[in-house]
Amino acid sequence: MAKTVQVKICGLTDEDAVDAAIEAGADFLGVVFFEKSPRHVTVARAAELLQFVPEEIRRVGLFVEPDDALLDAVMNNVRLDLFQFHGKESPDRVEAVRVEYGMPVIKAVGIAGPDDLQIAKTYAEICDWLLFDAKAPADADRPGGNAAAFDWTMLKGRRWPCPWMLAGGLDPDNVAEAIRLSGATAVDVSSGVESAPGVKDASLIARFVAAAKQQ
């Protein structure tokens, strides 16, 4: 029997969305500590949003090239289970953070073509998860959450030394096809379950999780 696909709902900004993601059966909940994102939350707000999340659901903090001061503030105030790095963090930086904070790390890698999968290999031995997202446009002011997709078939049949998630342009209508084409066993969505930038829609969250987990 196929293993159930795991689902991460990222960019949560309000309690209703957190409750909707929990009720729908999400496995990971994410908050964004990146000021340029429409989904950015403060450390204090993140602490409020995640404080009552059940222990079996993993809480993820998304960062873009954070300094230690921000990581310290988050670690001292927010109940997290994983860091997610979504910028140009080097493999050395990822490894150093894992050691210093004792926190598992998801490393996002932007994918446009096969060469980008080679870049992913440099992180695969040192991070706990890889996250394959569509590479942001050259003029984008943020590395993810741009509702763009890539050729999912590039991932089909590839083996990695760590688990991985698929992201980028996913929504309730295409996630089943994305899983089929890529072979993903975990998916990550943010803008694809929103009614407006940064505004999560409970019905879209429920539809997305149901569609992913039916695979």
137-156 pLDDT, tens digit each: 655 555 545 556 889 999 99
CB proximity list for 55: less than 8 A, separation 6 or greater = none
92, 127, 128, 133: the catalytic one is 133
178-214 pLDDT, tens digit each: 999 999 999 999 999 999 999 999 999 999 999 999 8
Going 194 to 199 to 200 to 201, the CA torsion angle's sign is: negative
Q: DSSP of the chain, one letter per residue?
A: -PPPPEEEE----SHHHHHHHHHHT-SEEEEE--TTSTTB--HHHHHHHHTT--TTSEEEEEESS--HHHHHHHHHH---SEEEE-S---HHHHHHHHHHH---EEEEEEESSHHHHHHHHHHHTTSSEEEEEEPPPTT-SSSS-S-----GGGGTT---SS-EEE-SS--TTTHHHHHHHH--SEEEESGGGEEETTEE-HHHHHHHHHHHHT-
C-alpha 193: how far from chain center: 13
Residue 177, by phi and psi: left (phi above 0), alpha (psi -120 to 50) or beta? Answer: alpha
Please, how many CA atoms are within 13 Å of residue 215, restricted to the half-sphere of its CB? 23
Catalytic (active site) residue 133:
yes
The residues of the chain scoring below 50 in pLDDT are: 1, 144
198's tokens? 């940064």
Tell me the domains of the chain and their CATH numbers: 6-213 (3.20.20.70)
Catalytic (active site) residue 10:
yes
Query: Which pLDDT belongs to residue 138?
Result: 55
Query: Which pLDDT belongs to residue 1?
Result: 39
Q: Tally Cβ neighbours within 10 Å of residue 26.
A: 27
**105, 85 in Cβ contact below 8 A?**
yes
C-alpha distances in Å from residue 68, one per residue of 10, 65, 93, 197? 22, 10, 11, 28
Query: Which pLDDT belongs to residue 139?
Result: 54
**102, 91 in Cβ contact below 8 A?**
no
